[in-house]
Structure 1
Amino acid sequence: MVAPLLMLLQMTSVPDVDILKSGPSLEIGDQFWSNLQKALFESMSFSGANTGLSMFGNSLILGLGFAIGKVVISMMAAYAIVYFRLKFAMLAFWLIFTTLLLPLEVRIVPSYEVTQKLGLLNSYTGLIVPLIASATATFFFRQFFMSVPDELVEAARIDGAGPVKFFIDILVPLSRTMIAAIFIIMFVYGWNQYLWPTMVITEEGKYTLVQGIKQITQGLEGSQQVPEYGRSNLLAILAILPPVAIVIFFQNWFVKGLTESDK
């Protein structure tokens, strides 16, 4: 798993002409910092808007907005299904759950049409909001809430805690590890999104990092000049770092969050 990343890193340190001639090698060159500067600060288009840093920021906004939105919406949906005596609670849950059979690719056209009619194209709102409903996260939070002892609910009711206070002061702190686990999953999923941003975003200033890498890849295929392997490989490494870092540093929370619902 590490070998391809080391190969990418090696190719960022040698001139692009050498890569074109001989491909990857064991040689370590002196072009890393110049390629890093190109990847971070130089644009890949005539507009000058989509530099590596700007695309990294857009991807970060998408990943965080995607993850936070899904956690909040899913927690509230699961809370309503488990703790409120709704007449059609189970029907609502299974309707939510069956949306797992309809991935984004199936509903991409109606989702895009709704987003367009609301005037949300080329905006962070249009990029994030249509995707934040999550059947998977709702299912995990529902299972966790069902494992909370009834005595805790009764004690909170005796102490005068209303539905909002019980949710914020008791359920949210108890759900810390579950929130962390769902956040990690959804952040990685949102960070790696390509199809939806490509449909919604046409302004180069709002391109995500994955879109920028695809743009460079297309340029490599059709360019008559020496392809910029160094910059493209550095952008690929930059796109890998945040998801890997989150999983590595929060792996304990991730494991606990996915196993605590069985208690």
Structure 2
Amino acid sequence: MSAIQYTKRRFEALRRAIGGDDEEESAALTGSEESVGVHLQLWLLVGMVAFPILVAVVVSTKQQGIVTSLPDLVPGTYAVENYREAIVDYGFGRFMWNSLLMSVVVVVGKLVISVLAAMAIVYYRVPYKDLVFLFVLFTLLLPVPVRFIPLFQLINDLGWGNSLLAITVPYLASATTVFILRQHFLSIPTSIVETAKLDGVGPVKFTLQVLVPMSKGVLVGVSIIMFVYAWNQYLWPLVIIDSEANQVAQVGLQLLQGDVQGGQLSWSLVMAGSVLTLLPPLALMVLFRKPLLETFAIQQK
């Protein structure tokens, strides 16, 4: 190899090395800029979500909240009076208790039914179980209002009208929960399942000692999702419940809007009820955010 060829090769190697560093630096700068852009978008979304909540909290502390124009964000001095009036005078505490009772019953019932259904689909040789699973998923395509008329007639025929059964039993079966739990059960190593079978573990023991301990995070996340779903129900309780004392918090907000003082709606009272309604699901989502995110990840898979 001549000295000229050797020099050329060394020069090319040096040029590629320098160019590679430039490319890596450029990629790093581009990644940093994209990260900043993503974080700015996230903070913008957080602000868009948090600002109405902040306004609701501020208005709930004022003597006469006005929402037709942008209010000042300085809290008022009537928070205790407004919240006491909503809870005691208008019975909003009773509405929240009804919603809490409904949500807990729905969560427990859905968990039991969905765990058993998902376990049967994954671990047992059920005839046409894939077809059954597709049929379960097909129910997700049916809008909820479509089922109201037959459900209303069935509930009245059973004599369950205006009761806790009327607002809980129709929500006990959940295709979404069955799907999430099925996906999670499929991710459990088959070696664990085979070992349990060899040890002669029965269905109940297998569920309580194997599936449930290995699915705590997913079960908690699913429970939060189901609780929020049940807590936010409005239309069905409005249709099936006649007694005001048995109504839920979402319908109770509408009843608060019936309070008119001097020809003007008391938005301070309405916002106080809105904040109270927001607190339970918000607290659960903050406390159990990690298992909730894990559940969303399973849904994406």
Aligned to 2:152: 112
Unaligned runs of 5+ in 2: 1-48
Structure 1 CA distance for aligned equivalents of residues 277 and 83 of structure 2: 13
Once the 2 structures are TM-superposed, how far is the Cα of residue 219 of structure 1 from its aligned partner?
4.5
Deviation at 1:129, TM superposition (A): 0.8
Q: Looking at both structures, which has the greater relative contact order when contacts are Cα pairs under 8 Å and sequence separation is at least 6?
A: 1
> Offset of 1:226 from its aligned partner?
4.0
Identity %: 34
User: Is 1:37 aligned to residue 84 of structure 2?
Assistant: yes
1:47 counterpart residue number? none
1:46 matched residue in structure 2: none
1:216-258, Cα deviation, whole Å (9 max, x unpaired): 23555xx754432222110000111111111111011112234
Counterpart selection for 2:267 from 213, 223, 229: 229
Alignment partners' CA distance in 2, 1:138 and 1:14: 46
Deviations 1:40-67 (A, max 9, x none): 1112xxxxxxx01111101111222222
Q: 1:27 Cα shift?
A: 4.6
CA contact (8 A) 1:137 1:182 kept: yes
Structure 1 regions of 5+ residues with no counterpart? 44-50
**1:3 paired residue among 30, 45, 51:** 51
Counterpart residue identity of residue 249, structure 1: L
Runs of 4+, deviation exceeding 6 Å: 20-23
Q: What does the per-residue CA deviation read over 1:7-30, in whole Å, with 9 as the maximum and x for residues that have no partner?
A: 2222222222x7389772345432
Quick check: 1:216 aligned with 2:263? no
* SS of match in other structure, 1:161: coil
Q: In structure 1, give the amino acid aligned to 2:297.
A: T
| Contact 2:256/2:270 (8 A) holds in 1 | yes
Please state how far the C-alpha of 1:68 moved relative to its aligned partner: 2.0
Letter of the 2:102 partner, please give it.
L
Quick one: distance in 2 between partners of 1:121 and 1:259? 39
Does residue 243 in structure 1 map to residue 281 in structure 2?
A: yes
Letter in 1 for 2:282: V
Residue 24 of structure 1 aligns with an amino acid whose one-letter code is P
Over aligned residues, Cα RMSD in angstroms? 2.2
For 2:281 and 2:85, the matched residues in 1 are separated by 23
Residues 262 and 214 of structure 1: is their aligned pair in 2 closer, same or farther, counting only changes over 3 Å?
closer
Distance change in 2, residues 1:57/1:148 (3 Å): same
| Alpha-carbon distance between aligned partners in 2 of 1:37 and 1:82, rounded to the nearest angstrom | 51
Distance 1:65 1:146, change over 3 A: same
